[in-house]
Amino acid sequence: MNNHIFKDGNVKHIKKLYRNIQDKVNNKSEIPEQVFYHLIKVYVFDLTDFLEENLQYLLELTEKAGTNEIQMLPNYNNKYYKKYIQFNLKQDEVNFQELWDEDELFYFLEEGCMFDINANWIAKFNLEEYLLVLGVFNEKFVLSDFPKPPYTKELFLEEYIMIPVDDLDKKTKKSIEHYNQKFVKAFSENYF
């Protein structure tokens, strides 16, 4: 059912597709670094919640706004996976749950991105932490009433900050401090 949306490419072609959005995304940066330029609004979601409940909402709003083409690209630095996804909202029926269940999305969700062809919005994925950062670049493209609300800074910190307990060894405590500093603090500064 979904096979027709997978397009064969090569590293050069995928980098060319990334050039179409290079004024809005730093292709070489990865989350928790700031990956977007010139944002109007940014939303942070749990990746699973977004794919299961919010993606359809976003695609419906995109179609109502008059944009039909969607692209999904693997990580800019991936030299091995040479496919990308392209589909038309009016013509193609895409079952993302099926793609997710069949592990067809792995290479896209590991620091890849999805965007409408007009780049009104760009979603950047982080599979390691199960996060999705959605950047909105067109002030006329209004998003509200997500079925699953985006993270607030408080909720993000509550879910992601690690608090070392006393009976942990020194190495584990250091690892927790490192994670909190390098990921949680950097992410919250860049996206909230």
Interval 120-173: pLDDT, tens = 999 999 999 999 999 999 998 888 889 999 999 999 999 999 987 778 888 999
- Judge whether 127 and 114 are in contact, CB under 8 Å: no
pLDDT value of position 154? 98
pLDDT digits over 25-47, tens only?
998 899 999 999 999 999 999 99
Radius of gyration of the chain (CA): 17
Q: 3-state SS of 100-111?
A: HHCCCCHHHHCC
- pLDDT reading at 103 higher than 70: yes
- Judge whether 137 and 24 are in contact, CB under 8 Å: yes
Which amino acid does the sequence have at 162? M
Domain ranges of the chain: 3-150, 152-192
Say what the pTM is.
0.92
Banded pLDDT at 98 (limits 50, 70, 90): confident
